[in-house]
């Protein structure tokens, strides 16, 4: 039984990193003293060690210890005694590239499917969908595949932004980009606004946070679902 939090972002305005999620994270990782951290997305190009140290300092606030997966000589071994897993944000192309090249995709999916608690933020949430094709990131590397974990039966667009009717910007909106995606690809896309997350628990997928989510399905008009809604049937 999967046990996950899939969050749009790690940080919301006016709050420190992960602070808005501390309460649900204490529940998620209640039986986890050590968290296996996957830092491959490297936001801003920071090093794996720098990213891991920063995350460890955050998790100390809820009495958890973090070990970076790059600290293990064998990535397969890293999953053998794992009590919890966190994949952080950054560049989704780089994250997926490294997951494949370090042979982490399959053991990560197996661990999540076995019920090991999992937290994903931003890029770490994008990889929970069927593919990473609805990320907002630039393709700074070419991963072996765009296929991701398939923990949820749809794609995620983390950091979803609504069109600003007063903006003078003439570039494409997120909604336009997702509509382009649906001219070729059939799977639904969930636009997760900042401060929203999906809770996978007890065989359900529930929208959490204060905001609604925007749902995109092929050949349908986009629509909103309120917080507290189940997304289990969205496929």
User: What is the pTM for the complete model shown?
Assistant: 0.96
Between CA 230 and CA 209 the distance in angstroms is: 13
User: What is the spatial order of strands in the sheet that 189-191 belongs to?
Assistant: 155-157, 189-191, 213-216, 223-225
Does 230 map to a domain? Answer: no
CATH code of the domain in which 154 resides: 3.40.50.880
Beta strands in the chain (DSSP E): 4-7, 34-38, 65-68, 85-87, 118-121, 155-157, 189-191, 197-201, 204-208, 213-216, 223-225
CA distances from 218 to 37, 63, 125, 185, 196 (A): 35, 44, 21, 8, 23
Residue 21: inside a domain: yes
Phi, psi of 125 (to 5 degrees): -90, -40
Give the 3-state secondary structure of residue 126.
helix
Q: Does residue 170 surpass a pLDDT of 80?
A: no
Domain-embedded: residue 83: yes
Active site members: 122, 137, 159
Distance CA 19, CA 13 (A): 11
Instruction: With cut-offs at 50, 70 and 90, classify the pLDDT of residue 201.
Output: very high
Q: What is the pLDDT of residue 13?
A: 85
- Quote the domain boundaries for residue 208: 4-225
232, part of any domain: no
Q: Is residue 150 part of a domain?
A: yes
Question: What is the predicted pLDDT for the residue at 171?
Answer: 77
How confident is residue 163, by pLDDT bands cut at 50, 70 and 90? confident
Total domains, the chain: 1
- Residue 72 maps to a domain: yes
On whether residue 234 sits in a domain, the answer given is no
Assigned domain for 233 exists? no
């Amino acid at each position: 039984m999967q046990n996950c939090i899939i969050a749009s972002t790690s940080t919301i305005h006016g709050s420190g990193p992960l602070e808005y999620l501390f309460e649900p994270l204490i529940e998620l990782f209640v039986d986890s003293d050590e968290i296996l951290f996957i830092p491959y997305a490297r936001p801003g190009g920071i090093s794996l060690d720098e990213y891991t140290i920063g995350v460890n300092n955050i998790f100390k606030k809820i009495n958890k210890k973090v070990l970076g997966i790059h600290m293990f000589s064998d990535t397969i071994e890293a999953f053998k005694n794992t009590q919890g897993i966190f994949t952080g944000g950054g560049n989704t192309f780089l994250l997926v590239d490294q997951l494949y090249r370090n042979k982490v995709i399959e053991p990560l999916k197996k661990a999540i499917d076995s019920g090991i608690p999992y937290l994903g933020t931003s890029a770490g949430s994008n990889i929970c969908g069927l593919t990473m094709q609805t990320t907002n990131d630039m393709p700074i590397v070419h991963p072996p595949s765009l296929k991701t974990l398939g923990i949820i039966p749809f794609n995620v667009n983390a950091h979803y932004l609504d069109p600003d009717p007063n903006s003078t910007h003439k570039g494409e909106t997120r909604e336009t980009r997702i509509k382009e995606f649906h001219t070729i690809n059939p799977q639904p896309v969930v636009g997760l606004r900042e401060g929203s997350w999906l809770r996978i628990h007890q065989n359900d997928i529930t929208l959490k946070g204060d905001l609604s989510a925007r749902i995109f399905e092929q050949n349908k008009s986009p629509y909103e679902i309120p917080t507290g809604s189940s997304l289990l049937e969205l496929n």
